[in-house]
Chains A and B, each alone.
Chain A
C-alpha cells in the first residue's frame, strides 16, 4: 500500500470517504443510532428515521462479489478494459467499486473480496487515490 501521508503527490479522489489508518483499508460511512441502517457514503440524515443521531463508522474491509462487469467504453479516469462491480460488504450494504484481479485470476459472483486503497488514476502532477476491491 502506498504512503498516503504526502498530500501533494497522492490525493484522495474525495475527502472523508475512505481511510487506511493502522494499515487497514476501510470505507467511512455512517450508521443510524435509531434503526442501525448503514450508509455509504455517509448521509446527513437517516433516510428511514430522519431525526435520529448518526454515528461515523468504518466499514467494508471485506465483502462478497454480487455482480461485476468488464468495461470496454472510454471513461474519464480508467483505460479500458477495466473492471467494476457491486460488493456486498460484511456490514450489510452494497458498494459500487472498481475491481482489480491478480494475474491469472477470473472473477466469479460470490467470491470473497478485500478492500484496498491505492492510486486509481493520475491527474497532472498528482496521483489520485481511491478504493477498490480485489479477490482474496
Chain B
C-alpha cells in the first residue's frame, strides 16, 4: 500500500439552508477542496460521494458542474459514519495504486429530507422502537448508567456542550456561534432525562470534501501534505454481546486498530475530532479512545485537558454539538478540520503546534446491534 496524503479540503458553512439542494452544497465543498489542493479537475481519478438522505448518484450530481466526469464514482452510505467511509474508500483507491488523485465528498441536506423538523423514527418492525426506544433515549440510558457507575455529574456532561459551543464561536463554519453556561445547558428543554436539548446535536445542512493524493506526486501541489497514517472502519456487534452500556466497544476496537496501524497511541495525538452527537457520547469516547481511564470521562473534562489550550483539545471546530451534524458531511468535515489544524490555518480555534490528529465518527441505529458503523482516521503532518 502506497503512502497517501491529503493535499486539500473545503466545506460549506453548516446550518439550515432549505433553499439549497444537496448538489449545490456538495458542489461548493468540492470546488473549495479543488481550489485548496491546486489540482485541475481532469487530474482526478476517483470520487466517492456520501449522503444518507440525498438520493442516488450523489457523487455524480455533486460533480456535474465541477468539470469532473467520465471517471469512476462510488457512492457510500453508513449513517453518521458515511463521510469517513467515503474518505476511506478514496484512500484505498490511492493506496492500492488504482489512481493518484481522489476526492471524497459528503453532503446532507436535512432540512429538505424526509426527517426535516422531525425525529428520526425507528422502522415499524423494530420492537424496541414501538416500545419507545429512539436515538436520544438510547443515549440517555447510557448517560444515567454512567452517572450510576462512576458518579459522573450533570455538570460534567454539560461542560462538553459549553466547551464545544465556545469552540464553535471561534469557527466561522459552525452552525451555532453562541456561548452557553453550564446552567443554561442544564436548564434547556428536557428531551429524555437527564439529556437536555443543548446536549444534543442539531439538524443541519452542509457539505465537505477532501482531496487525496499519492505521496510520491504530492510535491507539485503542496509542501505540507497531511499523511494518512491509519484508516479503520468497523460495524457494531450484536447487542447481547454488549454488556457494558457505559463503554463503546466498537469505538475502542477501532481505536486500538487505528493506533496499531499508525504506530503510535492516544498520548501522541495532538488534536481530536470525535462524534459528539450527545454530550454523553463525548464523555464516553474520552474513555473508549484511550484518552483517559475507564469511568474517568467526567474527571477528564474537569481537568481541562480536552479544552482549547489543554493537553489534547477535543472538537476544536465546535463538534457536532455546535458546528452541526449534516450526517454524511460530518466525517469529511472532521478531516477538513484536521487538515487546517495540522497546516496551522485553523484561525481562532487553532491548536498550537498540532502535528497529529485523530478523527472519529460513529452511528446508525440498528435494532439488535450496538450501533451501525464506526470509522477512525489518524493523520500526521
Interface residues of A (CB under 8 A from B): 13-14, 17, 37, 39, 41, 47, 66-78, 82, 84-86, 93-94, 96-98, 109, 120, 130
Q: What is the CB-to-nearest-CB distance from A84 to chain B, in angstroms, rounded to a whole number?
A: 5
Q: Is B170 an interface residue (CB 8 A)?
A: no
| Minimum distance in angstroms from B276 CB to a CB of chain A | 19
**Any A CB within 8 A of the CB of B192:** yes
A84 contacts which of B132, B189, B194, B239 (Cβ < 8 Å)?
Answer: B132
Q: Given A73-B136, A77-B130, A47–B240 Cβ distance below 8 Å?
A: yes
Residues on the B chain within 8 Å of A69, using CB: 137, 140-141, 144, 192-195
| Bitwise interface map of B from 84 to 95 toward A, beta carbon under 8 Å scored 1, else 0 | 000000000000
Please determine whether A39 and B192 come into contact, CB atoms closer than 8 angstroms: no
Given contacts A17-B127, A39-B240, A76-B121, are A66 and B145 in contact (CB under 8 A)? yes
B190 within 8 A of partner (CB): yes
Q: Which residues between 128 and 148 of chain B lie within 8 Å of chain A, taking CB atoms?
A: 128, 130-134, 136-137, 140-142, 144-145, 148
**B142 and A96 contact, CB distance less than 8 A:** no
A86 to B140, CA, bound (A): 11
Cross-chain pair count, CB within 8 angstroms: 79
Question: At the interface, yes or no: B267 with Cβ under 8 Å from chain A?
Answer: no
**Residues of chain A contacted by B137 (CB below 8 angstroms):** 69, 71, 73, 84
A76 to chain B, nearest CB (A): 7
Complex alpha-carbon distance, A95 and B121, angstroms: 20
The answer to whether B133 and A96 have CB atoms under 8 Å apart is yes
- How far, in Å, is A42 (CB) from chain B's closest CB? 11
Listed by A's residue number, 7 A-B pairs whose Cβ atoms lie within 8 Å are A67-B245, A71-B192, A73-B192, A75-B134, A96-B131, A109-B144, A120-B131
Add 5 more A-B contacts to A72-B192, A109-B148 (CB < 8 A).
A17-B127, A68-B141, A71-B140, A77-B131, A130-B131
Q: Are A73 and B191 in contact (CB under 8 A)?
A: yes
* B238 interface residue per 8 A CB criterion: yes
8 interchain residue pairs of minimum CB distance: A69-B140, A67-B145, A70-B193, A67-B141, A69-B192, A84-B132, A96-B128, A109-B148
**Would A78 and B190 count as touching, CB distance under 8 A?**
no
Task: Known A67-B245, A77-B130; judge A37-B192 contact (CB<8 A).
Answer: no
Residue of A nearest to B139 (CB): A69
| Chain A residues positioned under 8 Å from B190 (CB to CB) | 70, 72
**B1 contacts partner chain A, Cβ-Cβ < 8 Å:** no
The reply to whether B130 and A14 contact each other, CB–CB distance below 8 Å, is: yes
Category for how many chain B residues contact A: 20 to 34
Q: Identify the closest chain A residue to B131 (Cβ).
A: A98
Instruction: Find the B residue at minimum CB distance from A38.
Output: B240
Let me know if B130 and A78 touch, CB within 8 A. no
Whether A85 lies near B192 (C-beta < 8 A) is: no
Contact with A along B190-216 (1 / 0, CB 8 A): 111111000000000000000000000
Establish whether residues A93 and B145, one from each chain, have CB atoms under 8 Å apart when the complex forms.
no
A66 touches B245 (CB 8 A): yes
Residues of A contacting B148 in the complex (Cβ-Cβ under 8 angstroms): 67, 109
Chain A residue with minimal CB distance to B239? A94
**Which single member of B130, B134, B191 contacts A13 (CB below 8 Å)?**
B130
**Which residues in window 220-255 of B have CB below 8 A to A?**
238-240, 245
A21 to B132, CA, bound (A): 25
Bound: A94/B134 CA distance, A: 17
* Distance, CA A96 to CA B189, complexed state (A): 25
User: Within 8 Å CB of B144, what residues of A?
Assistant: 67-69, 109
CB pair A86–B245 under 8 Å, yes or no, is yes
**Which residues of the partner chain A approach B193 to less than 8 Å between Cβ atoms?**
69-72
Interface residues of B in 108-133 (CB under 8 A from A): 119, 121, 127-128, 130-133
Docked CA distance A75–B136 (Å): 12
B132 touches A67 (CB 8 A): no
Residues on B with beta carbons closer than 8 Å to the beta carbon of A17: 127
| A109 contacts B145, C-beta separation under 8 Å | yes
Is A86 touching B141 in the complex (CB atoms < 8 A)? yes
Given known A71-B132, A84-B137, A98-B132, contact A93–B240 (CB-CB < 8 A): yes
Q: Which residue of A lies closest to B132 (CB)?
A: A84
Residue in B closest to A99 when the chains form the complex, CB atoms:
B132
Q: Considering only CB atoms, which chain A residue lies closest to B238 in the complex?
A: A47
Across-interface contacts of B195 in A (CB, < 8 A): 69
Contact present for B245 and A82 (CB under 8 Å): no
Residues of B within 8 A of A94 (CB): 239-240
Residues of A within 8 A of B245 (CB): 66-67, 86
